Amino acid sequence: MYVQYGDACLSLQQVYEWGRNFLNGVSSVTDSPRPSQAHRVVTTEVIAAVEAIVKENRSVTVHEIAAQLDKSHGSAHHIVHDVLQFHKVFARWVPRQLTAELKERRVDAYRELLKRFEAEGDGFLGRIVTGDETWVHYHQLETKKARMEWSHTSSPKQKKFRTQPSAGKVMLTLFWD
């Protein structure tokens, strides 16, 4: 049997156990329910309640869902993952949200620099000294787990902007040519 079935073959101990079961009158090879085995309660009302909880708070955990509905963790997990097909995703960090006006101002500045380069050539680039200064905030980062939210596979990617209050800040000044 091992040559034919490989690792999927039953061990000798399992063969003896099945043989004893069949001699004792067991004729089914499927597992029978055990009294201590948890049963999943999946009704349309429970599914709707879970979906409402998730849509109200996308960061809710399966443990919290199970506690709110007084269901087992396994039932809540089954409904969220298998029935509703939600999965946890992270929002993508972007530095800041640019308004249409700010985007237009940047495009205008780039066009002006391009015109000067076309008129003056490489000499224009040699005369540029660039400087920038900004406040660098250091803050308490959220844990990755706290940023996770439930989402469908067809949902658009979420963006999260860095707007957290900082614990402190320092001035960063850079110059280069």
Cα distances (angstroms) measured from residue 86 to each of 18, 23, 39: 39, 46, 21
- Per-residue confidence at 107, pLDDT binned at 50, 70, 90? very high
**The tokens of 38 are what?**
């948890």
- Per-residue confidence at 41, pLDDT binned at 50, 70, 90? low
159: which residues sit within 8 A by CB, 6+ positions away? Answer: 91, 92, 94
* Cβ 131 vs Cβ 175: under 8 Å: yes
> How many residues in the chain?
177
Q: Where are the domains of the chain?
A: 2-31+43-85, 92-176
Q: What is the pLDDT of residues 62-97, one digit of tens each?
A: 999 999 998 888 889 999 988 999 988 776 666 677
**What is the average pLDDT across 107-130?**
87
* Cβ 47 vs Cβ 9: under 8 Å: no
- Residue 108 CA to residue 106 CA, distance in Å, equals 5
Cα distances (angstroms) measured from residue 104 to each of 34, 100, 108, 161: 68, 6, 6, 20
The pLDDT of residue 163: 55
The pLDDT of residue 17: 86
The residue assigned the tokens 């849509």 is 55
Q: What is the pLDDT of residues 42-67, one digit of tens each?
A: 888 999 999 999 999 888 899 999 99
